[in-house]
Amino acid sequence: MSMGYKNLGIWRESRELVIQIHGVTVEQLPKFEMYEEGSQIRRSIKSTKSNIVEGYGRRKYKQDYVRFLVYAHASCDEAKDHWETLFETGSLDDEALYCQIHSRLEELSKSIYRFIQGVEREHRSLREDHDGYNAEHPQMLKKHEPEP
């Protein structure tokens, strides 16, 4: 069985939030807000999910993996900020729904942050594997200089 990005808890949670936030912003917001703050939050939460996928696709290279996870974390925090703005301006007036989604965004942000820490601590990239090989085989590091 493949351990693809769909098996990541952070991806599954971001997917659920994409679906829920999309529904809320196109069905429950005032029309003008659908194209303003509603559009912004849809883009930022979708960016969260997409950056998790792109990072996973670059997981052979630890720095790339971490960079895209950091983008995902920032996009999640951006989505949380847009969600708060919708509530604070009265465009979203369902307090129970606000609290439920806000809590989920908070948890996703924390989960992505913990995931980044785990990748930084334990993930080995292709480059690190090559560096380990090169340390054991220093002759592989010799540069070929052109003949005079």
Above pLDDT 70, what percent of the chain?
Answer: 82
Domains and CATH numbers, the chain: 5-141 (1.20.1440.60)
CA 110 – CA 105 distance, rounded (Å): 9
Using one digit for the tens of pLDDT, what is the confidence trace for 86-120? Answer: 999 999 999 999 999 999 999 999 999 999 999 99
How far is Cα 57 from Cα 51, in angstroms, rounded to an integer?
10
E strand or H helix at 108, and its extent?
helix 95-122
More confident residue, 128 or 32: 32
The pLDDT score that the predictor gives to residue 127 is 56
CA geometry: angle at 30 spanning 93 and 99, to 5°? 25
The average confidence (pLDDT) of the chain is 87
Can you tell me the mean pLDDT for 27-51?
95
